Amino acid sequence: MKAKKKLFIALAGILLLFTFQILVIPPTASFAGKHPPFYLLNSEGDIINPLTGENADQPYSTYNTCDMCHSYDDIVQGYHFQMGAKSVSDHYSKEQPWVLSDGMFGKF
Amino acid sequence: MDITVWQWATTGPEGKPTCAGCHPGGGPMEFDRDGQRYDERLTEKPSLSDSLYGDYYGSHWDKSGVLEADCFMCHLSSYSFETRTEQLKNWNLKWASTAASGIGTVEGSIYDVVDNNDPSAEPKVTYNKRLFNEDGKIVLDIKPTVDDNNCMQCHGPADMKKRAFSWHDEVNPDVHSQQGMHCVDCHPAGMDHNFAKGHTTIETLRDDLDNSMRSCKDCHTEGYRGATIPKHVNIPPSHLKDIACETCHIPQKHRAAGQFFDTTHGNLHWDIIGKKEAWGKPEDWYPAYMKFDGKIIPINPIFGIWWGNREKNGIVYPLFARELAAAWGIYGSRVTDDNGDGFAEVNKREEIRLGLKAVETVLHKSSRFEQVHAVFIKGDKAWEFNQDSLLVGKWDPVCKGRGFSISHNVAPAEMALGANGCPDCHGYNGEFFKRTYIVDPYDENGNQVIAPVRKTIGISDYSYNLCAIHFPLIRPYMGIVLIIIFFVTTLHFTSFGPHDFGGRPLHPRSDDYERIDRFNLFERLTHLFVLFTFIFLALTGLAFAYRGGGRFLELFFGNTVTPRVWHGWLGFVFGIGVLFMLLQWWRDAMLIPSDKEWVRNFGGYLGGHDPVPADRFNAGQKVYFWTVIIGGIALLLSGTVLFFREHLPLNLVFTCIFIHYIAALFGVSGVLSHVYLSTGANPGTFPAIFVGKVTKLWARRHHPLWYEKITGKPASGSSDHQNQNHSDESK
Q: Which amino acid is at B651?
A: N
The kind and range of the H/E element at B517 are strand B515-517
Nearest to B137 among A37, A56, A97 (CB): A37
B657 phi-psi bin (left φ>0, alpha ψ -120 to 50, beta other): alpha
> pLDDT value at position B110?
97
Residues 6+ apart with CB under 8 A from B532: none
Range of the domain at A9: 2-77
- Is A95 inside a domain boundary? no
The lowest-confidence range among A60-74, B122-136, B161-175, B470-484 is B161-175
Residues on chain B touching A47 (C-beta within 8 angstroms): 136
> Which candidate in A39, A58, A60 is best for mutational testing of the B interface (most B CBs within 10 A)?
A60
> pLDDT value at position B728?
43
- The answer to whether the CB atoms of A59 and B95 lie below 8 A apart is yes
- Is A6 inside a domain boundary? yes
| Residue A54 CA: distances (Å) to CA of B97, B256, B574 | 19, 51, 91
**Contact status of A106 with chain B (Cβ, < 8 Å):** yes
Helix/strand/coil (H, E, C) string of B318-344?
ECCHHHHHHHHHHHHHHCCCCCCCCCC
Tell me if B68 sits within 8 A of A61, measured CB to CB.
Answer: yes
Beta strands in B574-621 (DSSP E): none
Q: What are the φ and ψ backbone dihedral angles of B333, each rounded to 5 degrees? A: -70, -15
HSE value, Cβ hemisphere, 13 Å, CA-based, for B502: 10
Choice between B663 and B546, residue whose per-residue pLDDT is larger: B663
Least Cα separation, residue B184 to chain A (angstroms): 14
Percentage of the residues of chain B whose pLDDT score is greater than 70? 95
Q: In chain B, positions 123-182, which contact chain A (CB-CB < 8 Å)?
A: 123-129, 132-142, 144
ipTM: 0.77
pLDDT at B53 exceeding the cut of 60: yes
- The answer to whether the CB atoms of A108 and B1 lie below 8 A apart is yes
> pLDDT value at position A47?
97
**Contact status of A53 with chain B (Cβ, < 8 Å):** no
- The answer to whether the CB atoms of A50 and B136 lie below 8 A apart is yes
| Residue B322 CA: distances (Å) to CA of B1, B331, B383, B693 | 11, 15, 21, 95
pLDDT at B475 exceeding the cut of 80: no
User: Of the spans B92-101, B493-502, B552-561, which averages the highest pLDDT?
Assistant: B92-101
Mean pLDDT of B446-455: 88
At residue A33 the predicted structure's pLDDT band, cuts being 50, 70 and 90, is low
HSE value, Cβ hemisphere, 13 Å, CA-based, for B98: 27
Residues 6+ apart with CB under 8 A from B43: B62
Q: In chain B, positions 687-716, which contact chain A (CB-CB < 8 Å)?
A: none
- The answer to whether the CB atoms of B24 and A81 lie below 8 A apart is yes
> pLDDT value at position B3?
82
- Is A28 inside a domain boundary? yes
- The answer to whether the CB atoms of A62 and B194 lie below 8 A apart is no
Nearest to B69 among A43, A47, A75 (CB): A75
- Is A104 inside a domain boundary? no
DSSP β-bridge partners for residue B243 = B296
Least Cα separation, residue A61 to chain B (angstroms): 7
- The answer to whether the CB atoms of B97 and A59 lie below 8 A apart is yes
Choice between B608 and B583, residue whose per-residue pLDDT is larger: B583
Distance CA B82, CA B85 (A): 5
pLDDT at B542 exceeding the cut of 70: yes
> pLDDT value at position B696?
87
User: Of the spans A32-41, B18-27, B600-609, B707-716, which averages the highest pLDDT?
Assistant: B18-27
- Determine the residue of chain B that is closest to A103 in CA distance: B205
Tell me if B394 sits within 8 A of B402, measured CB to CB.
Answer: no
> Which candidate in B4, B64, B98 is best for mutational testing of the A interface (most A CBs within 10 A)?
B98
**Contact status of B253 with chain A (Cβ, < 8 Å):** no
Q: Which amino acid is at B448?
A: Q
Q: In chain A, positions 19-48, which contact chain B (CB-CB < 8 Å)?
A: 33-35, 37-40, 43, 47-48
pLDDT at B19 exceeding the cut of 70: yes
Closest CA to B401 of B372, B434, B377: B377
At residue B1 the predicted structure's pLDDT band, cuts being 50, 70 and 90, is low
Nearest to B194 among A34, A79, A84 (CB): A79
pLDDT at B677 exceeding the cut of 90: no
> Which candidate in B206, B207, B209, B309 is best for mutational testing of the A interface (most A CBs within 10 A)?
B206
Residues on chain B touching A82 (C-beta within 8 angstroms): 26-28
Question: What digits encode the pLDDT tens for the residues B284-309?
Answer: 888 889 889 889 999 988 888 999 99
- The answer to whether the CB atoms of A78 and B98 lie below 8 A apart is no
Residues on chain A touching B318 (C-beta within 8 angstroms): 98
> pLDDT value at position B355?
97
- CA geometry: angle B606, B601, B597, nearest 5 deg: 160
Question: What digits encode the pLDDT tens for the residues B612-644?
Answer: 888 889 898 899 999 999 999 999 999 999 999
Least Cα separation, residue A66 to chain B (angstroms): 8
**Contact status of B318 with chain A (Cβ, < 8 Å):** yes
Domains and CATH numbers, chain B: 5-144 (no CATH), 152-459 (no CATH), 463-484+511-730 (1.20.950.20)
Across all residues in chain B, what is the average pLDDT?
A: 88
Choice between B307 and B557, residue whose per-residue pLDDT is larger: B307
Least Cα separation, residue A81 to chain B (angstroms): 6
**Contact status of B65 with chain A (Cβ, < 8 Å):** yes
Helix/strand/coil (H, E, C) string of B251-276?
CCEEECCEEEEECCCCCCEEEEHHHC
Our count of domains for chain A comes to 1
Exposure letters B447-471 (e unless 16+ CB within 10 A, then b): ebeeebbbebbebeeebbebbbebb
Closest CA to B288 of B169, B201, B208: B201
Q: How many CB pairs lie under 8 A apart between chains A and B?
A: 137
Closest CA to B26 of B73, B62, B63: B73
Q: Which amino acid is at B686?
A: F
- Is A67 inside a domain boundary? yes
Least Cα separation, residue B439 to chain A (angstroms): 21
Residue B357, number of CB atoms within 10 A of its CB: 15
The lowest-confidence range among B137-141, B314-318, B716-720 is B716-720
- The answer to whether the CB atoms of B26 and A40 lie below 8 A apart is no
Residues 6+ apart with CB under 8 A from A47: A39, A40, A41, A54, A55, B136
Question: What digits encode the pLDDT tens for the residues B254-272?
Answer: 888 888 899 999 998 988 8
- The answer to whether the CB atoms of A54 and B23 lie below 8 A apart is no
| Long-range Cβ contact pairs of B586-589 (< 8 A, separation 24 or more) | B586/B629, B588/B615, B588/B616, B588/B617, B589/B617, B589/B621, B589/B622, B589/B625, B589/B626
- Determine the residue of chain B that is closest to A82 in CA distance: B27
- Is A16 inside a domain boundary? yes
- CA geometry: angle B192, B196, B201, nearest 5 deg: 130
Provide the pairing of β-strand B436-440 with B402-405. unpaired
- The answer to whether the CB atoms of B25 and A85 lie below 8 A apart is no
Question: What digits encode the pLDDT tens for the residues B357-407?
Answer: 999 999 999 888 999 999 999 988 999 999 999 999 999 888 876 788 888
Residue A64, number of CB atoms within 10 A of its CB: 20
Q: In chain B, positions 203-232, which contact chain A (CB-CB < 8 Å)?
A: 204-207, 209
The lowest-confidence range among A76-80, A102-106, B141-145, B156-160 is B156-160
Residues on chain B touching A31 (C-beta within 8 angstroms): none
